[in-house]
Amino acid sequence: MVPIDPVHLAAELIRFPSVTPQDAGAIPFLARALEGLGFVCETVEFAEPGTDKVLNLYARLGKTGRNFCFAGHTDVVPPGNLAGWSSDPFAAARRDGVLIGRGAADMKGAIACFAAAVSRFLASRGQGFGGSISLLITGDEEAAAVNGTRKVLEWLKQRGEKLDACVVGEPTNAKILGDTIKIGRRGSLNGYLTVRGVQGHTAYPQHADNAAHRLAAMLHALVATPIDQGSANFEPSNLQISTVDVGNPAANVIPDTARAVFNIRFNDSYTSDSLKALVRQALDGVGVAYDLAFELTGESFLCPPGPLSAMVADAVEAATGIRPTPSTTGGTSDARFIHRHCPVVEFGLVGATMHKVGENVPVADIEALTEIYRGVLDRYFG
């Protein structure tokens, strides 16, 4: 068995420009590294009609016992403004103790830590540790996430393969490694609102009905009252207006159509259905006709603190001296699919630069995260 150096592997993974849905060679490369540790690797491709096909990886070491899973994604968001990067976003430059590149924090760094942690765990325990370790890695997390983790989980279930516990390596920490562990996520619901009126001359408003005025009243109704006050494990639900579009080029024309899009991040006080009803109730109160379509990105979910989150928190504290705070903040993640199959928590690198120009992580954090994941395996397999 060739030991894996996490910083070296992270750099190699960053060099594949795997912007969703491109794999660019990242998953086959990772599979070869895992095969070197004794994993049996299966790559599976999914393509819903009308979507881009996506490559995923399920790698398993061991055939028996409890199956501990590390989950994550090799796809990355586009690099953005290239002029803002101090070096090529896919060169994985190392400077002043940090590794720079798209995906360094979100989350090729953590994937490298998964592999290196397993290699260290095997070096001390040998292959006969009495269980199984798996990696579930998707190339479709950052975009629609329809051909990724959700499909792999269905595929595993169909063939009777079970995960017993899972750690997702998303960059959960806000400022320093060890500050935050995620035990759930808010849901996300988009609303597409269209209001119609009657077009006319701005000098003769009595012969028209301004759609923009109607829309303004409806948007006010949506933001005037807080949705809730938060719940035991969640901050308050929040509605943000994303865009308002009238598309009227003439200053002397009253518009007949106005549109707005809004996004709600909601806690476990609601399901998407009860939240939709609440939104319609607020809009109905304005008393004008409207069209409204919803798009659900994910329901809220919570894996209440338990043995797995305690085990991860213990491993974090042992390696960093910090007891991580359980949190449900931030965007959604693939943990929303995994929690239906087994207990799941999320812990990874520091997310301060994720999706930003100049994304980077301290090399020391990659080392420390490897030790944390190794500590989780030690504790899980006793």
Shortest Å, Cβ 105 to Zn ion? 9
Q: Is 37 in the site for Zn ion (CB under 5 A)?
A: no
Q: Is 167 in the site for Zn ion (CB under 5 A)?
A: no
**Contact indicator for 171, 108 with CB cutoff of 8 Å:** no
How many binding residues for Zn ion (CB under 5 A)? 3
Q: Which is nearer to Zn ion, 300 or 332 (CB)?
A: 332
Residues identified as active-site: 75, 141
Q: Is 54 in the site for Zn ion (CB under 5 A)?
A: no
Q: Is 106 in the site for Zn ion (CB under 5 A)?
A: yes
Shortest Å, Cβ 72 to Zn ion? 7
Crossing angle between the packed helical segments 272-284 and 211-223, to the nearest 10 degrees: 130
Shortest Å, Cβ 9 to Zn ion? 17
Q: Which is nearer to Zn ion, 90 or 262 (CB)?
A: 90
At 326, list the tokens: 């359980």
Candidates 9, 92, 107, 112; binder of Zn ion (CB under 5 A) is: 107
**Contact indicator for 68, 164 with CB cutoff of 8 Å:** yes
DSSP 340: T
Q: Is 110 in the site for Zn ion (CB under 5 A)?
A: no
CA-based nearest residue to 196, from 208, 205, 188? 208
Q: Is 26 in the site for Zn ion (CB under 5 A)?
A: no
Shortest Å, Cβ 342 to Zn ion? 20
| String of contacts with Zn ion for each residue 170-189, x by CB under 5 A | x-------------------
Q: Which is nearer to Zn ion, 223 or 357 (CB)?
A: 357
Cβ-proximal residue to Zn ion, closest one = 106
CA-based nearest residue to 68, from 348, 350, 370, 338? 338
Helix (H, G, I), strand (E, B) or coil at 55: strand
Q: Which is nearer to Zn ion, 106 or 371 (CB)?
A: 106
Q: Which stretch binds Zn ion (CB under 5 A): 163-171, 199-207, 262-270, 295-303?
A: 163-171
For residue 306, count other CB atoms closer than 10 A to its CB. 11
> Per residue in 9-40, is it b (16+ CB within 10 Å) or e — as a string?
bbbbbbbbbbbbbbbbebbebbbebbeebbbe
Q: How far is CA 290 from CA 109, 120, 257, 280, 338, in A?
A: 47, 60, 10, 10, 37
Shortest Å, Cβ 95 to Zn ion? 23
CA-based nearest residue to 368, from 325, 326, 320? 320
At 100, list the tokens: 């720079």
Residues that bind Zn ion in the complex, under the rule CB under 5 A: 106-107, 170
